[in-house]
A and B are shown apart, each in its own frame.
Chain A
């Protein structure tokens, strides 16, 4: 793969004028933004705001009506090895006959090309990735015997095995235990230190300020995009969530008082 200087300085993900519709119903309308290098970016919005759709369209997994997606200055189809993807945990069948190590090795399939099979090198790398998410002891465990949080960590290890420069994660924090949440955020920080860019669909408004450098507020259209400190404001959230935000805000206030952290507006 060509890695010119231009490719390295171009934004990790640049989307302009993206529109997507499912059977005439617009899901994304005229979405444009550019991810900055080496940041953790949260994507926040109500249910049905098109967050997962945005990710799938950015990766070229679903057809788009209009718009352009560039990854490091080229169409995403030619930059697949630079992208690591964590789908929603519920999107796969966890009863599939395979173990954790095997799932992580799947992260290498793109690099192996058409005919090469995963071998000792891939296995070693997969074990390293499992160790990074604290799952080394579970390498040979059948995946249905893992807890939800452990399954999520296996998915993250698989994305690490993709050895990408841009990571795109769909709700990695959904339904995980506190230990896994901590492990994931530690991992995101490490990726950031390595200069990688991570875009995360997130549903827990209470932790946005703590976790993300930038935030994209989405509800079919981009409502706001920028540094979390500047953009993650009550006014912008009210605009993004519409009428529902009054309720969320009240809950938020109660939660801040009690100091508890739990999911709000899962979507």
Chain B
């Protein structure tokens, strides 16, 4: 049963992240995902300090607000003349540092462990279960991730055309009356939600891998956005399963193995993709040279 819960949790993390990752990398905002995943930490701690509970939904709210604040600050600095990569670096490291300070100040009352924040502990998800009216409903993380996935799938499928046009051609999107800023912040809010829900399981650093790697591999494998999302999700889930198997054999960090598996799949896509792959390009070149 433990195996089942871990793989389910990992797959939910992978699915949430891989869907959003596609839009992030197409908008060339992979680093914004990185920034959000770190700067939500103070949001989590503040939510904890205010509410005094480790209720996941309150933390989700606090973190999502911080995620939007991050994006807002980054844009504010960029528009005021700070270089874009520098402003990302300034905002997320500063907010993350605030989070670290807050955690260390409240260390006695909080059982938020910094190691857990950074690296996650997916092996423990099945210990923290949700009981409703005396019955065990399964791990809290699964419910939280399930809820996040539901929100992501609902919003992305409802507003697919808006998300797509805002990613491809924001000028036209604005010209035809699509509220570009609203969809920008909606996407960022979803990324924050996905990050926070994945926090306990894979941690702040590895969640970035789940956001970016499967989507980047899928980008190499197809020329259609819809298919790219499907492939990205498939790669994400495959990384979870392969990663868990590797961790079992090696007796190593589960979350670490999952992201390593994603990286291996990315390298395979990079080498073997029929259109963009290194091997295909080399072969094509050789064939062309021979025909000359």
Contact = CB atoms under 8 A, between A and B. Distances in A.
Interface of A: 23, 56, 59-61, 77, 80, 83, 85, 87, 91-93, 96-99, 103, 106-107, 109-110, 112, 114-115, 117-118, 142, 158, 162
Contact of A92 (B168, B222, B224): B168
B74 to A, nearest CB: 18
Given A80-B175, A109-B162, A97 B81 contact: no
Nearest to B167: A96
A118 B176 CA distance: 15
Contacts of A118: 161
Interface in B144-187: 158-162, 164-165, 167-169, 171-178
B61 interface: no
A249 to B, nearest CB: 34
Given A97-B223, A97-B224, A98-B223, A91 B176 contact: no
A97 B228 contact: yes
A87 B224 contact: no
B278 interface: no
A23 B81 CA distance: 9
B224 A110 contact: no
24 contacts: A60-B174, A61-B174, A80-B176, A80-B177, A83-B175, A85-B172, A87-B169, A91-B169, A91-B171, A93-B168, A96-B167, A96-B168, A97-B224, A98-B168, A98-B223, A106-B161, A106-B165, A106-B169, A107-B172, A109-B176, A109-B178, A110-B177, A114-B159, A158-B172
Interface in B197-222: 219, 222
A97 B225 contact: yes
Contact of A109 (B165, B167, B222, B223): B165
Nearest to B161: A109
Contacts of B165: 106, 109
A77 B175 CA distance: 9
The 8 closest A-B pairs by CB, nearest first: A110-B176, A142-B223, A85-B175, A80-B177, A87-B171, A92-B169, A96-B168, A61-B174
Nearest to A142: B223
A234 to B, nearest CB: 35
Contacts of B167: 96
Contacts of B164: 98, 106
B171 A77 contact: no
Contacts of B171: 56, 61, 85, 87, 91
Interface residues of B, number: 28
B245 interface: no
A158 B161 CA distance: 15
A158 B173 CA distance: 12
A142 B225 CA distance: 11
A161 to B, nearest CB: 11
Nearest to A62: B174
Contact of A87 (B28, B160, B172): B172
A97 B167 CA distance: 11
B247 interface: no
A115 B228 CA distance: 22
Interface of B: 26, 28, 81, 158-162, 164-165, 167-169, 171-178, 219, 222-225, 227-228
A98 B175 CA distance: 20
Nearest to B229: A97
Contacts of A23: 81
B180 to A, nearest CB: 9
A120 B219 CA distance: 27
Given A93-B28, A142-B223, 18 more contacts: A23-B81, A59-B174, A59-B175, A61-B174, A77-B177, A85-B172, A85-B175, A85-B176, A96-B167, A97-B26, A97-B219, A97-B223, A97-B228, A98-B164, A106-B165, A110-B178, A115-B158, A117-B161
Nearest to B225: A97
Nearest to A86: B172
A201 to B, nearest CB: 14
A102 B168 CA distance: 11
Contact of A162 (B28, B160, B176): B176
A205 to B, nearest CB: 26
A107 B219 CA distance: 24
Nearest to A112: B161
Contact of A61 (B160, B175, B219): B175
A93 B223 CA distance: 13
| Centre residue among A91, A110, A158, A162 by max chain B CB count within 10 A | A110
A80 B173 CA distance: 11
B266 to A, nearest CB: 16
Nearest to B222: A97
A232 B169 CA distance: 34
A145 to B, nearest CB: 9
Nearest to B158: A115
B225 to A, nearest CB: 5
A22 to B, nearest CB: 10
A107 B161 CA distance: 11
A61 B175 CA distance: 7
| Centre residue among B172, B177, B223 by max chain A CB count within 10 A | B172
Contacts of A117: 160-161
